[in-house]
Amino acid sequence: MQFVGESIYLNKIFTMSSGKQQSQLYTLAVVFFFWGFIAASNGVFIPFCKERFGLDQFQSQLIDFAFYGAYYIGALALFLFSAASHRDMLNHWGFKKGIIYGLLISALGAGLMIAAVTAGAYLFILAAFFILALGFSLQQTAAQPFVASLGDPHTASNRLNLTGGVNSLGTALGPIVVSLAIFGTIVSGDQLSEIIKTVSLTKMEYLYVFVGVLFLAAASLFGFSKSLSDGKADDHFEPAPKATRMLIIITLSLVAVFTYLFLRYKDPEFIEQVINQHQKDISGLGLSFLALLVIVIGLLFSNQTAQKNPEGWGALRYPQLVLGMLAIFTYVGVEVTIQSNLGELLKHPEFGGIQGSALAPYISMYWGSLMIGRWTGAIGVFNPSASLRTILLVVVPYVAFGVVLAVNALSGHDMTPLLMYAVVVALQIGAFFLGKDKPAQTLMVFGLFGMIGMLIGLFTAGTLSTYAFLSGGLACSIMWPSIFALSIQGLGKYTSQGSAFLIMMILGGGIIPPIQGKLADIIGIHQSYIIPVLCFAYLSFFAVRARQVLAKQGINVDELEAGGGH
């Protein structure tokens, strides 16, 4: 999602909606904060659980698999339910009820997390994360079109930018708040193992009691709000039986692969062997790549088959959508895997030996990098004059950078090691000028920016390497709207269905991090960052290929607006 970076523009957003719609927009912003807060907090939970439960890097990344896998299952279940009932169930319920149902499911997940922490069972914790994120899947599927519907359709991206800003605030605050909640103070790297042994899991219980209460309070706020409309829309559903069957086959294949992995890694003797002699175990890596191939081959096969006979394939007949689904999968995956593996990387001496709550500023800066880009990316939607746009492209990123530094400093963190990151922000500003607010060009430029950053990180160490890996957040920041805009062009009556398929591909956040985690167990955490290099390379390829595909359909991508966001 993108963020509105200048308060001067907020009035413009609100004047485009009625007073009632403004009130609804404020209410909806609550759930956008939850998504960012909880998702970014995983970066602190992963190293904590790794130490606490004696996990290898692959096992620790299963937190991301459970969390982001739930987005896929939730979106798929809603699609299958709609197909079976021959109507779009979300539009039939109404966006308001969809959000309420999602909040209640997330509250259930928070309650299960309390029980899981009490039991001290890692698999139970994963299950609780899955249920919590299942609610998020329904919330996100409902909330984004709801926000877009609150006013003039031409200003929908403005409203999404504002709620996206609240999401970015959650991503910046999440790691700090969770770190303080668990550790209570800043912990140096050499204290981490001992501190985790003595830290009471009761603190995590209290944290999720608080989170669960917030979910219930938000559900009540939505339920009893008189200003919030039902948000119902046309519930017509375009049938796609062949696409449905292919998605079921992909899902069952993924379930089989990861069920085997869960059972294999449940054996304590095997876990001990993997941790002590991880070079001998490559099955986890092989099966994770198999899961990736199932998705890639399944989608490409569907599109190739649909080219010959499009009947029954629905939106999967369009190559720009299928390539875009893989792009969303890759984008979410690389965004998550960079920060999820960051804790393991930074604990090594050549990267400063940073662990525990001392990780929070770095994780916060990574997510803050996404906020910096989203603030800046929002400038174009307000159509400022050329001279004002030039000024804002330079000023806004540093305003956002200052906010990230200030929030961390107020939390008691020493931000001195991150001050020179301002140089990397300057490079991103140059990328924005090269992108020229055009989705294909912007995506290509930022894909190359990310790929170069990851390569620099791979071939260096210390502060330079750390900054290079953190720059992945700057590269990812504005990719979602560009990918989305390119993917749904030319879909016609299948646009809604195509959007649902794109949401399913958030699954990438659950597949790619475990792949990097297992590769890290085999070749080392630093070298494992070859995975983000490959991801950014595909995103640059998609930008070029989508332009070619759409040009054959008579669509000029340079006329598209890179609005909206995730």
For residue range 189-237, what is the model confidence (pLDDT) as tens digits?
A: 444 455 555 556 677 777 788 888 888 988 888 888 776 667 666 667 7
Instruction: Convert the pLDDT of each residue in 381-428 to its tens digit.
Output: 566 888 998 999 999 999 999 988 998 887 777 888 899 999 999 999
**Does residue 2 surpass a pLDDT of 50?**
no
Tokens of 66: 């459970």
- The answer to whether 536 touches 450, Cβ cutoff 8 Å, is yes
Do the beta carbons of residue 57 and residue 523 sit within 8 Å? no
* Higher local confidence (pLDDT), 439 or 402: 402
The more confidently predicted of residues 309 and 186 is: 309
Which pLDDT does position 445 carry in this prediction? 95
Does the pLDDT value for residue 37 go beyond 70?
A: yes
Determine the pLDDT at residue 395.
95
Distance CA 151, CA 17 (A): 5
Element (H, E) at 123: helix 122-149
- Per-residue model confidence (pLDDT) at position 352: 82
pLDDT at 186 over 50: no
Per mean pLDDT, which range of 164-168, 222-226, 240-244, 374-378 is the poorest? 164-168
Of the listed ranges 355-364, 373-382, 423-432, the least confidently predicted one is 373-382
Instruction: State residue 564's pLDDT score.
Output: 40
For the chain, what is the mean pLDDT?
79
pLDDT band at residue 496 using 50, 70 and 90 as cut-offs: confident
**For 57-61, 162-166, 460-464, which range has the lowest pLDDT when averaged over its residues?**
162-166
What is the predicted pLDDT for the residue at 265? Answer: 60
Q: pLDDT tier at 1 (50, 70, 90 boundaries)? A: very low
Residue with tokens 């190739």: 304
What's the pLDDT score for residue 201? 64
Separation between Cα atoms, residue 148 and residue 146, nearest integer Å: 5
Mean pLDDT of 22-33: 71
Mean pLDDT of 419-443: 90
- Of the listed ranges 72-76, 345-349, 559-563, the least confidently predicted one is 559-563
Kindly tell me if the per-residue pLDDT of 347 is higher than 60. yes
Q: At what angle do helices 319-340 and 462-476 cross, to 10 degrees?
A: 150
Of residues 512, 507, 509, the one with CA closest to residue 71: 507
What is the model's pTM? Answer: 0.80
Q: Are 144 and 156 in contact (CB under 8 A)?
A: no
pLDDT of 45 above 50: yes
Q: Using one digit for the tens of pLDDT, what is the confidence trace for 67-93?
A: 888 888 888 888 888 888 888 787 778
Average pLDDT for 18-42 = 68
Q: Give residue 29's pLDDT.
A: 73
Alpha-carbon torsion 231, 235, 238, 242, what sign?
positive
Reading the block at residue 374, the tokens are 């989203």
Which token pair is 81? 């339910």
Q: Which position has the token pair 């209460």? A: 213
The two structure tokens encoding residue 375: 């603030």
Contacts of 215 (CB under 8 A, 6+ apart): 34, 103, 104, 106, 107, 110, 135
Task: Give the residue with greater pLDDT, 286 vs 201.
Answer: 286
Check: CB of residue 411 under 8 Å from CB of residue 357. Answer: no
Residues making up the chain, counted from first to last? 566
Decide if pLDDT at 537 tops 60: yes
Q: How far apart are CA 94 and CA 125, in angstroms?
A: 32
Residue 12 pLDDT greater than 50, yes or no: no
* Mean pLDDT across 439-462: 94
Is the pLDDT confidence value at 285 over 80? Answer: no
The pLDDT-based confidence of 329 (bands split at 50, 70, 90) is: very high
